[in-house]
A and B are shown apart, each in its own frame.
With several copies, the nearest count.
Chain A
């Protein structure tokens, strides 16, 4: 199984801060400014959502972002263009639903199947995928295409994922696992579930990085989660909320970008802070 080097590098020197935004929300240009703001704010990896019309795994925050992006004219080809034009220096992970990946070949006159999509993604500089509606059992064709192009395939591990299913997933995962902090769909929440801790324990035996997402909205939370052992934190809705607020209050794009950068800085700092605490704990434990 290939491992994408850029992603591996992002986790190499400590826990990673991984923000998410829906690409094209609310339009192409603004969206570019927002993603670049995240990079500026300290993102180690960025998850770029390619909007699908039926986002069954999303909370309403991201669902609304997707509706805005689609209304703004986002398509797979525009998405690739977007990535190509993007001026950032961090690895990019494409988060989308399987039907868009599967149909892309056909849209270019070929057969349906993931190869064409992955090839094009690799071309524009994508480093990996998260596909929330693709279970490990159905993932072999996409896994194979990723391997061919040196891309990672990230799976989401739910609090309820265990036993055989977990095995199957861990056999196919690369880059990092997306540890779902709690049941439910995406959406900013203030509590940090101790389901997270249990999940991290269950995953301890595998040495792939574990990035925790779902409901993280503050630097504080990020710090606590990383202190608890996470190798990364993924933040989506809390950032999309800023974009949505900007849209609703018709704020200028650069102001919203600045707010996003600030939030990213807070979260990145929280991530480092958590890492420091954890190292201190380990040091404590060592010295005890």
Chain B
């Protein structure tokens, strides 16, 4: 990354003028506290990640998958992080940073609720008042996560504008921030948004590959041949890749949600997938230039995935850049393959992955023959949040390795 917040032509700061001082202030804080460890910020961050978050997470050899695929499959267990996903690495980093910056309030938006719950946890832990914006429709689809946020003392604000989903929640959070920049920090949930967010979130998540690289040396005696991670916005992805990017021998695979099809429906403005790296075009969204799912005139398309955490029309600008540079290979698996991956890991290794994560295992199941040697798969999160969708989506399809779930046909 160059210091101007660009990754090649990607990135930048395409935001309303009113937010510029806030992101400049944040950029300054990022440089000082994160990059230069001023006041021991990074030390405190790492210590809290260990004590509160449960780091390091294991790098576990998946014996049964290794046998099945004739590979050395290793799992980086972010599902064991407090909250059940890698999201806390970033949320804790940003809430702590907000404290160092003297902010006294946190806001965030959330779609599926994973980033919201991580932020609410971090805010409770660090005693920061926290408001989470969430589309009304998403609230109704993700009630357990809403409840978790409220239990942690966050104020969950339903957003009724538009369709009541993530995009409206993002606008609403921007709106709040634009009015409160001086006291408030906006915790963005992935490696997206204007600089410094993509770089900063990557740096908070990079602990994943920092640990994995070291653990690989211990357990594999060297570097892995490939690293695989699912990609929505791309924060677990960049976290898992960051410390391997300079190791040219390590292949990096970003697995996107292929949804029901990679083709788009221009008419309806709908892409039945969330594969912006694989199929998107360059454009400007939510503060950054990156690869997007958009129609021919530049309206953002509604994306789709069975996993709400991957269901986003954009992707982190650094990933877009690394794909253009041929450093990261973008791949996509469809909803069915993701469900197959979900059941495979659950049955074979006793780990129920998030549906997001399941895409990485769907890729492994479909393409293991193209891989060789040792593979690290980032288990970005656990699937407890997805049980209901997994039942419904599995029932609606023919998934070869699905268990009999007839007893759940009326829901769980």
Contacts and interface: CB of A to CB of B under 8 A. Distances in A.
User: Do A and B have CB atoms closer than 8 angstroms in the complex?
Assistant: yes
B26 to A, nearest CB: 13
Interface string A156-171: 1111110001000100
Contacts of A180: 17-18
Given A63-B162, A135-B13, A184-B175, A104 B20 contact: no
Which of A53, A98, A156, A157 has the most C-beta atoms of chain B within 10 angstroms of its own C-beta? A53
A86 B180 CA distance: 39
A54 B15 contact: no
Given A56-B15, A180-B17, A185 B179 contact: yes
Given A70-B299, A107-B297, A183-B179, A135 B14 contact: yes
30 contacts: A53-B299, A56-B15, A56-B170, A56-B174, A57-B174, A60-B175, A63-B168, A67-B162, A70-B299, A75-B297, A76-B298, A77-B297, A99-B294, A100-B298, A100-B299, A102-B283, A102-B284, A103-B296, A135-B13, A135-B14, A138-B13, A155-B17, A156-B16, A156-B17, A158-B16, A159-B18, A160-B18, A161-B17, A183-B179, A185-B175
The secondary-structure label for the interface of chain B is mixed
B157 interface: no
Size bracket of the B interface: 35 or more
Contacts of A102: 283-284, 298
Given A135-B15, A138-B12, A156-B16, A161 B283 contact: no
A183 B300 contact: no
Given A63-B168, A160-B181, A161-B21, A107 B15 contact: no
Interface string A169-212: 10000000000100111000000000000000000000000000
A138 B14 contact: yes
Contacts of B31: none
A158 B20 contact: yes
Contact of B18 (A60, A98, A112, A184): A184
Contacts of A70: 299
Nearest to B301: A53
B300 A53 contact: yes
A106 interface: yes
A183 B18 contact: yes
B329 interface: no
Given A57-B16, A97-B284, A112-B282, 14 more contacts: A54-B170, A60-B171, A60-B172, A64-B161, A64-B162, A99-B300, A100-B297, A103-B296, A104-B297, A107-B298, A112-B281, A138-B13, A160-B181, A165-B24
B285 interface: yes
B300 A54 contact: yes
Contacts of A165: 20-21, 24
A226 B17 CA distance: 23
Size bracket of the A interface: 35 or more
B161 A107 contact: no
Contacts of B286: 54, 56
Contacts of A129: none
A67 B14 CA distance: 21
Nearest to B314: A54
Contact of B161 (A60, A135, A155, A156): A60
A161 B174 contact: no
A55 B170 CA distance: 10
Nearest to B19: A158
Contacts of A133: 14-16, 284, 287
Contacts of B175: 58-60, 184-185
Contacts of A76: 297-298
Contacts of A63: 161-162, 168, 171
Interface string A97-125: 11110111011000010000000000000
A133 B174 CA distance: 12
B296 A56 contact: no
Contacts of B21: 158, 160-161, 165
Please provide the 5 A-B residue pairs with the shortest distance between their CB atoms, ordered closest to farther: A103-B298, A184-B179, A158-B18, A57-B16, A160-B21
A137 interface: yes
Contacts of A156: 16-18
B292 to A, nearest CB: 8
Nearest to A131: B14
Given A58-B171, A63-B168, A103 B283 contact: yes
A62 to B, nearest CB: 10
A134 interface: yes
A185 B297 contact: no
Nearest to B16: A57
B108 to A, nearest CB: 15
A169 B170 CA distance: 26
Contact of B284 (A55, A77, A98, A161): A98
A255 B18 CA distance: 36
A103 B297 contact: yes
B178 interface: yes
Interface string B1-42: 000000000001111111011001000000000000000000
B385 interface: no
A132 interface: yes
Contacts of A155: 17
B343 interface: no
B298 A104 contact: yes
Contacts of A107: 296-298
